[in-house]
Amino acid sequence: GNSVTQMEGPVTLSEEAFLTINCTYTATGYPSLFWYVQYPGEGLQLLLKATKADDKGSNKGFEATYRKETTSFHLEKGSVQVSDSAVYFCALSDLKSGGSNYKLTFGKGTLLTVNP
Amino acid sequence: EAQVTQNPRYLITVTGKKLTVTCSQNMNHEYMSWYRQDPGLGLRQIYYSMNVEVTDKGDVPEGYKVSRKEKRNFPLILESPSPNQTSLYFCASSFNLAGGPPGELFFGEGSRLTVL
C-alpha cells in the first residue's frame, strides 16, 4: 500500500537558519502530495500542496517540489523564524478509481523547534 | 468563520463506558473523516464518509462506529472504550474529492481522550 516516510525529529535550528525536512513516498498511480503543519495545541493546517510531477508548492516562505523520479517532496525554507516551531506532516492522497475510497496517508511528523 | 468543531476537547473516562465525540462543520463539505494521532505513528484514518449515509472503514476502525445522518455532523462512537483507544482524535472535512485533484482537508482542533 501507499506510505510516506519523513525524517525523524526533533529538528532544532537557530532563527534564520535553512530548513530541510525530507519526505519520500511509495504510491501506485499519481498521488497528490501535501505538507500540513500543526502548531502547539491546534489541529493540522494545510501548508502547501502539489498535484503533479514537477509542481512546486509554496506558502509562507516554505517550498516543496514534487519529484516523481526520486519519489520525494522535501520541505524547505530559506530562513526560519521562531514562529515556525511546529510539527510538520508530509502526506499523500489516495484516491482510487471512481472516488470510492479517499484518504490522506500521513508521515509520522517532524517536530521543528526554532530558537531565537 | 469556516470551521470544524469537535467536542469534547478533553475527556477522561473508564473502560467500557460508551462515549461519543461530536464533529460538526459549517462549510457544506461532503467528505468527512476521523483520524487518531499517536506518538511515533502519525495520523491514521479511522473512518470516513463521502456523503450523507455513506461511510466506510479507514485503516484502524476496530472499536469505533460512526454515523452520517446529516451533512454537517459526523460523530465518532466508542461503544466500549479500552485503554488502547487513549489518543488524540481529529475530525476533518473537505469538498467531495471524487474524480478530481484532492483539495484541502480542514481539521478540527482535536479531542484528547484518556481511557482508564
Weakest mean pLDDT among A97-101, B8-12, B66-70, B85-89: A97-101
A58/chain B closest Cα distance in angstroms: 14
- Among A52, A76, A81, A80, which residue's Cα sits nearest to residue A66? A52
pLDDT band at A83 (very low <50, low <70, confident <90, very high): very high
pLDDT, position B100: 54
% of residues, chain B, pLDDT over 70: 93
Phi-psi region of B84 (alpha: psi -120 to 50; beta: other; left: phi over 0): alpha
Note whether A103 contacts B: Cβ–Cβ < 8 A. yes
pLDDT, position B86: 97
Residues in A closer than 8 angstroms to B98, CB to CB, are: 95, 98-100, 102
Asked if the bond preceding B61 is cis, omega within 30° of 0, the reply is no
Report pLDDT digits (tens) over B16-68.
999 999 999 999 998 899 999 998 888 999 999 988 999 999 889 999 999 99
pLDDT, position B50: 86
Q: Is the pLDDT of residue B96 over 80?
A: no
Phi-psi region of B26 (alpha: psi -120 to 50; beta: other; left: phi over 0): alpha
Note whether A95 contacts B: Cβ–Cβ < 8 A. yes
pLDDT, position B97: 59
Exposed, middle or buried by CB within 10 Å (0-12, 13-18, 19+), for A20?
A: exposed
pLDDT, position B99: 52
Neighbours of A80 (CB within 10 A): 22
In a mutagenesis test of the A interface, which of B24, B30, B97, B106 is the best target, namely the one with the most A β-carbons within 10 Å?
B97
Mean per-residue pLDDT of chain A: 90
Question: Angle B9-B55-A24 (CA atoms, 0-180°, nearest 5)?
Answer: 75
- Among A87, A40, A43, A89, which residue's Cα sits nearest to residue B4? A43
Residues in A closer than 8 angstroms to B45, CB to CB, are: 103-104
